Amino acid sequence: MGVFRDVVTTVDELRAIAGEPPGEVALRKQVDRLDRHCRDLIARSPFLLLGTSDAAGRCDVSPKGDPPGFVLVLDDHHLAIPDRPGNRRLDGMRNILANPHVGIIFLVPGRGETLRVNGRASIVRDAGLLARMAVGDRTPRLAIGVEVEEVFLHCAKAFRRSGLWQPETWPDLATLASAARMLLDHARPDGMTLEQMERRLQHGYETQLY
């Protein structure tokens, strides 16, 4: 027997518990293009979460961040996200090659409402487009192009419940293991000490952002 019991397995069961959307606003807020409101929010967003899945449905969510305006809105139905240096696992990129459907959440610091964008993605190496996303003399090698299929504003309830933008509600991190400690325990690289892992992380943050 699995850990989870009394599992909901049909839409009818789900609706019986959760109910129907509360009125026409929730049903009609979805649009199929990036209008001026969407463009304004994206222009102010320094951070997004990109959800992908492979052909078998295994999922990945990847954070992307840069100064506000880093995502290019090309027209009402297309946007481009620069790919900055990372760990080269390419989890999201490999998923896009297998399954182009993606979901994006744009965040704006201090703003509880988020913008959700769903569409079809491709991996782009157009030199002209990449040049528009350069930071200093560093031009990304690739970008993720998204053909927008649906867009809608998501309410601020999750942010209000979590207190995400309220520093006075943030948890005490003093007893939380450092990133270096977690990576050392998870990856267990041969012969590497905690101090070496800390230096490795710091070097990457200082020299490999772009």
Domains of the chain and CATH, by start = 24-162 (2.30.110.10), 171-207 (no CATH)
Distances (CA, A) of 127 to 46, 68, 130, 134, 195: 23, 22, 5, 11, 40
Q: Which of 142, 139, 147 is nearest to 126 (CA)?
A: 142
- Dihedral angle over CA of 179, 184, 185, 191, nearest 10: -170
Give the C-alpha separation, 21 to 32, whole Å: 20
Contact 63, 47 (CB under 8 A): yes
Contact 64, 48 (CB under 8 A): yes
Question: What pTM was estimated for this model as a whole?
Answer: 0.94
Contact 148, 79 (CB under 8 A): yes
41's torsion region: left (phi>0), alpha (psi -120 to 50) or beta? Answer: alpha
Give the C-alpha separation, 105 to 45, whole Å: 10
One digit per residue, the tens of pLDDT, for the chain of length 210 reads: 589 999 999 999 999 999 998 888 888 899 999 999 999 999 999 999 999 999 999 999 999 999 999 999 999 999 999 999 999 999 999 999 999 999 999 999 999 999 999 999 999 999 999 999 999 999 999 999 999 999 999 999 999 999 999 999 999 999 999 999 999 999 999 999 999 999 999 999 999 999
Give the C-alpha separation, 140 to 133, whole Å: 7
